[in-house]
Amino acid sequence: MSISSGIPTPVRAFLKDAGLDITAPTTARIFTNRNLAFEQIPVVGFDMDYTLAAYNQVELEALSLACTLDKLLAAGYPRVLAETQADPTFAVRGLMVDKKYGNIIKMDRHGYVGRAYHGHRKLPRSERKSLYREQRLGTERERFVAVDTLFALPEVTLYAQVVELIDTQPGSWPTKSGPPSYATAWDDVRAAIDKSHQDGSIKEKIKADLGRYFNLDQNLGPTLHKFRSSGKKLFLLTNSYYPYTNAVMSFLLPSSERYPSWHDYFDWVIVGAKKPGFFTENEPFQQLTCAGEKIGEPVREPMSGRIYEGGNQGGLQSALGVHGDQVLYVGDHIYGDIVRSKKSSGWRTALIIEDLEHELEVRHTQHHVIDEINHLAKLRIALTDEMTAVRYLVAQLGRHTPEDLVARGVDPAQATKLLEDTRKTVRQRHQQLRRYEAETADTLQRRIDQLTAAFNPYWGSVFAARYDLSQFAAQVESYACLYTSRVTNFRYVSPVKFFHTPLRTMPHWIVD
């Protein structure tokens, strides 16, 4: 309920202007995995890319694919690769690349591979299970690569195209040795996209047309101001270096009377942080001027109101002057921002998951399908349980003879017929259950396929795998205290809000 319910209109308008009476739409909700008293968080830190800075994913992926493709062609990859049409919907966050077999896979929280593609060919269940039934995924670090960020999606999309080319047109490679192995192809794609970032191919084009590659959110400045006006100190901690950071942040937070520069929103600015190493190494902080030039000698602890490059979590923690659990760090990278900071620093964490808006929209529009899936799943479990019990009864009846009934007092003249009639009745019941269960399973699968396609035609929901949480969702649940779709969703909540975790249950807590 709105806090201004029953309050006169002029007062309601005042509360709304103060950010105290804005009802958040469903897609802007902040979700809680671990109780957090926002009032007891005096410091809030932010990553930049995909956190404060929301990219236009379609334009960025097109640019990344084009730059990476240019590098691959220059390295000797066949020209026909440029003629293939990459599907931008193919890759999603939370996948894993199997370099050995050229497969892209999705796992549930237990490591079970429920879906896999070789190129764009979906592996049938038998092939998928033969490859991954005994494999403890992730233990072979040289073989498996996690797809943790939206930045990584173009390379997965392009890798699938390369795998297709290796399989279907091996003769297109100009070298006598033929196409590369799947593992080498992945390394080539990774090297090409890394080079595109390192030589400025991507970022220089972005800087030249910021409006094309970023979704400008007019609520970003007011949201950060709301933090500051409530007494919280803010810091920026990004892996991007100063020239790029300055260009992007100047675009996102233009000059205003209250904040002449984007720097003024933050008490500390740290660029080129090299996360996740920032949380585990001990690099010093190098001060920079507002023009990005190095000034003075490296220091162990950053001072407020200045710009630094590099550094480490311990030095920053000392400068913040608070305990680790009094810092909330907001980022988009499940490993580099959330898992590593949680394990190494004790900071509270908020994960920005841009995909969440699509997730919530689909769950809203497909709620009737989801309800039917839940009903059918429960029905199938009940049918399976009864069918199993009846099948066992059939087996037991097959072991008995009329003499067994006679021994229990049944009339010998009726024993044979009674046993046969009972067997027939039980077999008929088993057959009925089998037909009903098969029909239910078929309908359930069609509904699941319908819902999966609504999320993503290849992988379904980022947060689900088969009938369980995806590995990505399990990481979100384990390491992100809060998660939401964008930073500006915080404008809907009070700076003294207590974020409550929903009641968690175990199977034995719910008894029908």
Q: Which residues are identified as catalytic?
A: 47, 49
CA pair distance 253, 225, nearest whole angstrom: 11
CA pair distance 500, 498, nearest whole angstrom: 6
Concatenate the DSSP letters of all residues of 29-87 into one string. --EESS-EEGGG--EEEE-TBTTTB-B-HHHHHHHHHHHHHHHHHHTT--GGGGGS---
- Strands 468-469 and 464-465, bridge-based pairing: antiparallel
Q: Give helix 182-198 / helix 57-74 axis angle, nearest 10°.
A: 110
Q: Give helix 153-168 / helix 57-74 axis angle, nearest 10°.
A: 50
Neighbours of 20 (CB within 10 A): 17
CA pair distance 479, 340, nearest whole angstrom: 9
Helix (H) or strand (E) segment spanning residue 382: helix 367-399
Closest CA to 192 of 105, 75, 303: 75
The span from the first CA to the last CA of the chain, in angstroms, equals 32
| β-pair partners for 307 | 269, 288
- Helix locations, 147-290, DSSP H: 153-168, 182-198, 203-208, 210-213, 220-229, 242-252
CA pair distance 132, 234, nearest whole angstrom: 45
Phi-psi region of 235 (alpha: psi -120 to 50; beta: other; left: phi over 0): beta
Return the amino acid letter for 194: D
CA pair distance 199, 177, nearest whole angstrom: 30
Structure tokens at 475: 């990481």
CA pair distance 456, 92, nearest whole angstrom: 8
Return the amino acid letter for 234: L
CA pair distance 449, 466, nearest whole angstrom: 11
Counting every residue written for the chain, the total comes to 512
Return the amino acid letter for 462: V
CA pair distance 29, 485, nearest whole angstrom: 8
416 burial class (0-12, 13-18, 19+ CB within 10 angstroms)? middle
Closest CA to 336 of 150, 206, 194: 150
Closest CA to 266 of 320, 312, 212: 320
